[in-house]
Amino acid sequence: MASLTMIASSQKKQNEMSVWKNPYCLVLAGCLHATLVGCNSTPGRPEKPDFSPSASAEAAVAEYDADGDGRIDQGEVAACPGLAIAFPRIDTDGDDALDAQEIAARIEHYEAASASLSTGTVMVSLNGQPLPEAAVTFEPEAFLGDSFKACSGETDYTGTAVISGHNDRFPGIFFGLYRVRVSKTVNGKEVVPERFNANTTLGHEASDDIPGLIRAIRFDLRD
């Protein structure tokens, strides 16, 4: 259990949002803010995915409740990076486990929000150095349903990527729960540890009630 706590703590650190101090990115953040606040009134905006809160919640419990007690506890949630990163916000009764009602309520929150997209700006570093030319993919947790699509981007020389996949005019990440994969191959060899790609432990929650919503999402990875 101690190691699982460490994983959760490490994820929290890796996903900590902070202001990206590059001036270009501050300008970009401003543009993204305009997109965010305007996305309910701008013609041609991408449509929200279809939400199925109860069905998604039941599917999540069916998949991750390994001991069959009807709840996903801290140990079980480690298998689901998207739920793990959002655990404190979903566990509203504070019993240190997620039940179907709590998960459904969180998905209902995404559905009811007046906005639908968070920032799509991501900054990735590996061992303290910006990681250029890396593929960054946000993969919706499968229980959210087929209308949620994976979205991705490639980092530039500063390690910054703009995530899109729905509509090039509206880069960003639909509110929801994701597992994130960061991959870079050099001479045919993966240079990022597999716990950040093939067996990723990186999770991300996009929602309107998380501080730093319009700031760059940072993943500070270490070997």
Interface residues with Ca ion (CB under 5 A) are 65, 67, 69, 71, 91, 93, 95, 97
State the nearest-atom distance from the C-beta of 96 to Ca ion, in Å. 7
CB closer to Ca ion out of 65 and 141: 65
* d(C-alpha 223, C-alpha 211), whole Å: 28
State the nearest-atom distance from the C-beta of 92 to Ca ion, in Å. 7
State the nearest-atom distance from the C-beta of 70 to Ca ion, in Å. 7
For tokens 């946000």, name the residue: 138
State the nearest-atom distance from the C-beta of 68 to Ca ion, in Å. 7
Please name the amino acid found at residue 45.
R
Annotate the chain with three-state secondary structure. CHHHHHHHHHHHHHCCECCCCCHHHHHHHHHHHHHHHHCCCCCCCCCCCCCCHHHHHHHHHHHHCCCCCCEEEHHHHCCCHHHHHHHHHHCCCCCCEEEHHHHHHHHHHHHHCCCCEECCEEEEEECCEECCCCEEEEEECHHHCCCCCCEEEECCCCCEEECECCCCCCCCEECEEEEEEEECEECCEECCCHHHCCCCCCEEEECCCCCCCCCCEEEEECC
State the nearest-atom distance from the C-beta of 203 to Ca ion, in Å. 18
State the nearest-atom distance from the C-beta of 211 to Ca ion, in Å. 22
Please name the amino acid found at residue 219.
F
CB closer to Ca ion out of 53 and 172: 53
CB closer to Ca ion out of 65 and 205: 65
CB closer to Ca ion out of 44 and 94: 94
CB closer to Ca ion out of 67 and 190: 67
CB closer to Ca ion out of 77 and 162: 77
For tokens 């949002």, name the residue: 17
